[in-house]
Amino acid sequence: MKKQDYIFIGCAIVFLAPFFIFDSVYDMYNQLTAEHGMIMSFFKFAILATVGEMIGLRIQKGVYNEPGFGVLPRMIVWGILGMGISMAMVIFKGGTVSFLQYMGLEEAPMWFAGGLSWGKLLVAFCISVLMNSIFAPVFMTLHKITDTHILNNGGTLKGFLRPIKMTEIITNLNWKVQWSFVFKRTIPLFWYPAHTITFLLPQNFQVLFAAFLGVALGVILSIANLKKK
């Protein structure tokens, strides 16, 4: 490991340690999550998902940041996308349970509200499948568009605030990779099981865990890219 890695790990420890050491910090986190869920979603994804991309860059290029990477624009994008994910989780949790009832599985609300059981696992899996099949492709494409926009404008905040050239970016996306790898592989092989676990967790940890999954996926994709090279 290099000096930058020790600094990065040290900053992560300093940031996370208070949540484990001080009960007041943990209680404050729970209170803010309960009272200001969308705002907290913004900050969770802005910090954790961006950190995941920085780790991915470290694995691929040996640095956590580089000219044109655009840490601040990425944080803004991830924060907004995080609120969208939080919204989708609420919609698909309630909607999937109602749909399962509509399809004759009357026990679905009871299973999902209860403790860990095969029934709860089934409902959580159904929520994950529906959310990742319907919402995730749109979300992933939008993220790819904003990511391209940031890179095209040199990673600067001023460049990020310019209008996004939607037609140009969408036309030039590598749809073969988007379909054959991002949609066809990561969704069923990673996101289906990962978000099944997410929906089994207590509600105040679901968005946080989803943000941590962004860190994990960033690492996985970076290692995969290295192996391809």
How high is the pLDDT of residue 87?
95
Tokens representing residue 5 in the block: 């890695």
Please tell me the distance from the alpha carbon of residue 45 to that of residue 76, in angstroms, as a whole number: 9
Q: What global pTM score does this model have?
A: 0.87
pLDDT at position 30, please? 85
Closest CA relative to residue 204, chosen from 9, 36, 69, 8: 36
| pLDDT for 229 | 52
**Residue 129, pLDDT score:** 97
Contact 84, 206 (CB under 8 A): no
Q: Classify residue 210 as exposed, middle or buried by CB count within 10 Å of its CB (0-12, 13-18, 19+).
A: buried
State how far the Cα of 225 lies from the Cα of 205, in Å rounded to an integer: 30
Q: Is 117 helix (H, G, I), strand (E, B) or coil?
A: coil
Instruction: Say how far residue 219 (Cα) sits from the centre of its chain.
Output: 13
Give the pLDDT confidence score for residue 25 in this predicted structure: 84
Q: Which residue ranges in the chain fall short of pLDDT 70? A: 218, 220-229
